[in-house]
Amino acid sequence: MKHLSLLYFFIIFVILLSLSLSILFFEKESEKDKLLQLCHHVLEDFQKGLAYENANLLSFSLALSEDSALKTAFKNENEQEAYEILNAISQKFKKYTHIKSLRLQLFDNDFFIFAQSWGQSSVGMPLWWFRDDLTKLKQNKNPKVGMETGQKLTFKATIPIQEGSKALGYLEVIKVVDEFTEKFHKEGIEIFVLMDRKFDAKASLMKKAFHLSKYIIANNNFNQKLKKKAEKIDWKELENLEFYYENNILYLLEPMYNSTREKIGKYLIILPPETVKRYQKEHQTVSLLTRLNDQDLFNVVELWENPTGSYLNNQDKNSIQWIQNLPKEKRIKFKKEAEDILQRYSKDELINIILETKYKEKKVGIIR
């Protein structure tokens, strides 16, 4: 009888132990599933923010490539006039928008520099020797946008400038990565833009850049404390799983591609503990990073295929919309410029522009 009691006790013990281990296993799996779901949401929002950045830069570049004064300067081989036009545009952006790093340059069909918004010291120098991305552009003549290597890793939108069927050259709009990563920083998410070291030889403006693991950090506004923490984690596991979770800090690795889908590095996305908690509670229908809903993002990306809307060209559209977005006291200064643009439109064309524009206030008037 005593032997039977011991057997019963042993069986009950084994059953309870199995149940405990099962509960622990499923709890661990549940936590892992939650972590994977969090990673999915973070990366989804990151890609939306990246798509918005590229679409916005490309839209502006397409508009600027239609500037008649710029084309005239190009045709007349007037480098000084082209510089003054580019410089004036760059200064306007610095003064009236949050974009402070915008740089513009023109180069000819053989990829020699014609004009740059920041000065004329590099005029006549070749770009092709450190810009591998330009080879395919010469072949297909299609606009392109994305993160590109060179003397420095930056966002670049490169647009062919045409007059009829004649190719005059190319316009390029350049934006440093720091303004992109700053948007994430304001939401408590730290981004390290990591360029592969194989591009180091041509990156003459990144010789003093910091390194992390086997990469070069392209942005200057990274978090120094998180860099030290990232140096101590298991990078082999991070590279293998593309995420790593330690001390309530989430590390994510996302491949970085250029405009031709060549892998040129990684984005290291770090969520500190407070951001992890907050992000888990966020409603995912509105992007935490971009503060844009899905329809807004769709409308921006749609500009790639239909950039002009009801306007005759991109230059008119961007000029009018830029003027509309200025504060009232500054908008008055550009009233004559807007009137000159709209004088060229017919009544029906003006009605179409009004119908596709969303206003926050009622507009009353007569189109004659």
Question: Collapsing DSSP states into helix, strand and coil, what is residue 243?
Answer: strand
| The pair of three-digit structure tokens given for residue 240, joined into one six-digit string | 């293998």
The mean predicted confidence, pLDDT, of the chain is 80
- For the segment 48-100, what is each residue's pLDDT rounded down to a tens digit? 999 999 998 998 898 888 888 999 999 999 999 999 999 999 998 888 877 78
| The pair of three-digit structure tokens given for residue 3, joined into one six-digit string | 């032997």
Q: From its phi and psi, is residue 41 left (phi > 0), alpha (psi between -120 and 50) or beta?
A: alpha
**283-321 as b/e: b if 16+ CB within 10 A:** eeeebbbbebeeeebeebbebeeebbebbebbbbbbbbe
Boundaries of every domain in the chain: 54-175, 178-284, 309-368
Can you tell me the mean pLDDT for 166-183?
A: 92
Nearest alpha-carbon partner for 118 in 72, 176, 68, 62: 176
Can you tell me the mean pLDDT for 305-324?
A: 62
Which fold does the domain 54-175 belong to in CATH?
A: Beta-Lactamase (3.30.450)
Nearest alpha-carbon partner for 113 in 130, 104, 125: 125
